[in-house]
Structure 1
């Protein structure tokens, strides 16, 4: 494949996305107002709670098997490495640019997560549908590519609401503590307060009267502090729960035979989920365009 052919294969999907994004921008104009603030809110909810989970569970259920799952072990590892490397680069960027404390968490979160999320679900199918795509048959490419993107989105959501969320909470707490300290007491007063706290316990007892914590108690306190910084509700977002169900459907053979395949008794459930999932990509692209206003 020549350079120009490869260039047009890469260009066409981007143009498709930009056209639909432009349509979303047009529909959100005040004169049209088909995608106003209320409409975007409801469409976002539909994508988040219904369309996107339907796409994830249908794609994973149809393509994931126990054998294929063993070949995908690298995905959680690679995504985690991406987050760690992004955090390191963010730390370097913060040191070089002297980022204000209240923005350091945001910079770290953006550099860690990058573009991981729904973007792959938009770009990958558009690439696969090109007639001269280098990835072979468009149907197989679209199924496998969408499955890969769905799994990436689910794994990425877990890391975002654990790894990135904790980092941003730590930076936010540190910034709040620094701000409160600077506004409440001077350096000399804080030094005296620190000495006072060291010499007395929480109930006014002397330091010698306090009982030392055991290793198990310290470990339990560390685990509690860690879990307090995790938003479990967001970790188990609809797409993550859908990915879990998709894995169960694909891996557990009796369930797979019931739901997947032309002769499956409950194939209508999978077909309905696929039909709902097809609305995910155009809706997300329209929402991106409408949010540009």
Structure 2
């Protein structure tokens, strides 16, 4: 196959994605007003909770069997390697360029996490349908490509929220905030982490969180300043309820909830249906008695790719005018993600093929290589919201501790 045909087969899917992204940016312009900020929030919620898990469940259940899962054992390891190697390159970049301390964790996260969900779902299946395709039958290629991309999405979510989120949180000092006590006479609230300024898109959420925390603090202050003369049984019940609430709001439980995203549940359900033969016979196939459920999942999952791509384009209209990040930092992240990581990935995958630990599937090898050559994950934008909410929660608990300690009759 000529090199020009391979170039066209690789370029056309990217061009399709850029066109749809451009449409999303166009309809999100203030002068057009179709994909408004509120609309993007609502569509994003539908994609996150409905479209993505339906897509993952359908693709994995209809494609993967126990043998197929065993043959793709290297994919989770490969994704973990992209995170670890990207983190190392990000750390080196911070040291060489003296990046400000408030941006270092963000740079490491952007270099470590790639967009292993949307990009693979768009680019890999579209490559199967080009005339110069190197992967054989378009139908089977597309089905297998969607399964690989869905598995990548599930594994990526788990590693992102267990690794990148905690790297950013710990690097920015979120783990130490509960040990700090606010001055007794200080009337100013704790500030959000320097360098993580909430965007206009998240102002309403943060305002609601502040009001909620303030209300709870006032209620606890009022309760603690009153002489309690209730039976010991009620006191024990109240203490148990407070302990349960405190445990449910602890950082560890919150991080665990973030870890099990809807896509993770979709991957677990899809793999279970595909591996367990009775479930597979009941749901998958033209003669399956419950094939209508599989059809509904397919119908819902088909909306994930166009909706997510339009959202990605709509979010680009915000641009860099409100960002304090220098262009040189952006260029450095681009060089890491599109030059150093792909070169490292080629060496790793070629070495694995030479050793013989990968099964001989060109499409599988291609997916493993592409995992090293993707832009930063869209989830990086969620870290500022999650970390800001964590700061507000910490401020609330610190204020409560001070008020309870100073309440009359408490000693």
Q: Shorter-chain TM-score: what band?
A: 0.7 to 0.9
Q: Are the aligned partners of 1:105 and 1:171 in contact in 2 as well (CA < 8 Å)?
A: yes
Aligned pairs (5 A) from 1:72-87 = 72-87=72-87
For 1:228-252, what per-residue CA distance to the aligned partner results, in whole angstroms no more than 9, with x for missing partners? 3971111111001000000110011
1:264 paired residue among 271, 278, 288: 288
Q: Are the aligned partners of 1:257 and 1:264 in contact in 2 as well (CA < 8 Å)?
A: yes
Matched, 1:56 2:80: no
How much does 1:114 deviate?
Answer: 2.8
Aligned pairs (5 A) from 1:115-194 = 115-173=115-173
- What is the CA–CA distance in structure 1 between the aligned matches of 2:312 and 2:174, rounded to whole Å? 33
Q: Are the aligned partners of 1:75 and 1:152 in contact in 2 as well (CA < 8 Å)?
A: yes
- What is the CA–CA distance in structure 1 between the aligned matches of 2:35 and 2:254, rounded to whole Å? 34
Number of the residue aligned with 2:264: 240
Number of the residue aligned with 2:308: 284
Task: List 4+ stretches of structure 1 deviating above 6 A.
Answer: 174-177
Aligned pairs (5 A) from 1:79-118 = 79-118=79-118
Q: Are the aligned partners of 1:61 and 1:256 in contact in 2 as well (CA < 8 Å)?
A: yes
TM-score (norm 2): 0.57
Q: Tell me the secondary structure at the aligned position of residue 99 of structure 1.
A: coil
- What is the CA–CA distance in structure 2 between the aligned matches of 1:229 and 1:103, rounded to whole Å? 27
Q: Are the aligned partners of 1:101 and 1:175 in contact in 2 as well (CA < 8 Å)?
A: no
- What is the CA–CA distance in structure 1 between the aligned matches of 2:148 and 2:302, rounded to whole Å? 16
- What is the CA–CA distance in structure 1 between the aligned matches of 2:131 and 2:139, rounded to whole Å? 11
- What is the CA–CA distance in structure 1 between the aligned matches of 2:106 and 2:175, rounded to whole Å? 12
For 1:38-74, what per-residue CA distance to the aligned partner results, in whole angstroms no more than 9, with x for missing partners? 1111111111111111100000000110111110111
Q: Tell me the secondary structure at the aligned position of residue 292 of structure 1.
A: helix
Q: Say which is worse superposed, 270-279 or 123-132, in terms of deviation.
A: 123-132
Q: What is the Cα-based RMSD across aligned positions, in Å?
A: 2.1
Number of the residue aligned with 2:10: 10
How much does 1:277 deviate?
Answer: 0.7
Q: Say which is worse superposed, 134-143 or 50-59, in terms of deviation.
A: 134-143
Number of the residue aligned with 2:43: 43
How much does 1:132 deviate?
Answer: 2.7
Number of the residue aligned with 1:197: none
Q: Tell me the secondary structure at the aligned position of residue 286 of structure 2.
A: coil
- What is the CA–CA distance in structure 2 between the aligned matches of 1:83 and 1:230, rounded to whole Å? 22
Q: Unaligned stretches of 5+ in structure 2? A: 181-250, 318-411
TM-score (norm 1): 0.80
Number of the residue aligned with 2:351: none
For 1:144-169, what per-residue CA distance to the aligned partner results, in whole angstroms no more than 9, with x for missing partners? 11110110110010000001111111
How much does 1:20 deviate?
Answer: 0.9
- What is the CA–CA distance in structure 1 between the aligned matches of 2:35 and 2:256, rounded to whole Å? 31
Q: Are the aligned partners of 2:60 and 2:271 in contact in 1 as well (CA < 8 Å)?
A: yes
